[in-house]
Amino acid sequence: MDTTEPQRLQKLLAAAGLGSRRAVEEWIRAGRVTVNGRVAELGLRATPADEVRVDGELVTLLSAEAAPRRLLLYNKPVGEVTTRNDPQGRPTVFTSLPPTPGRWISIGRLDIGTSGLLLFTTDGELAHRLMHPSSEIEREYRVTVRGTPPPAALERLRSGVMLHDGPARFDELTPENTGAPDASFRVILREGRNREVRRMWEAVGCEITRLSRIRYGPVELPKDLPAGQWRDIPIEVFAR
């Protein structure tokens, strides 16, 4: 018999790594969550012994106190997608992660052609905070482009280019190697729109041949971590 004290449903689902409490509350309002076969309402309490489903899928729950709070970094190789299940059957980053009683949440994404640093956590609140636009966390990338971009193109990237979803600019753009046939740069920006780095370079007529994320906030990609490998890091690194 489970004697766990009932807890608010949104707290349990966040502890399971499904999302932030705010996101879970929206799911409950939308009627997407059921408990023991009945549509849940805000304020409902439950225990890990209850049958809880989100969009019809059974959820494994832990008490919020027992759920492990983990943060790990992963060196994503080119060719993997940042989704749990890919309709095209392509390799997914989640198959390389260690098992956990909770659920791994990807903090942002990298497209299939981009390698480098990805962060994962079992803490839904932390994931929500780190991905929210108001966090303005620096993302740093190493970019290699074909040929040598003209100075005017680099100036546009620093001052701002217009994309279909609004203006964008690099907070920092530092040349590393500008010799032929390719040129490489380090760039920093504080938002994570879909394929934003690629689209910015395309907007000034440059073709990216290699793109890798090397830093996310205070976390840098370790030089000794091989592609396809992960490493636990202290969750306190993102202390408020």
Catalytic residues: 111
Smallest CA-to-CA distance from 101 within 33, 35, 17 is with: 17
Please give the C-alpha separations between residue 105 and each of 11, 56, 83, 191, in angstroms, as whole numbers: 16, 20, 10, 18
C-alpha R_g of the chain: 21
Question: In this structure, is the dihedral angle defined by the CA atoms of residues 46, 48, 51 and 53, taken in order, positive or negative?
Answer: positive
13 CB-contact burial (10 Å; exposed 0-12 / middle 13-18 / buried 19+): buried
Alpha carbon distance 125, 101 (integer Å): 17
Alpha carbon distance 96, 192 (integer Å): 23
Smallest CA-to-CA distance from 101 within 133, 123, 134 is with: 123
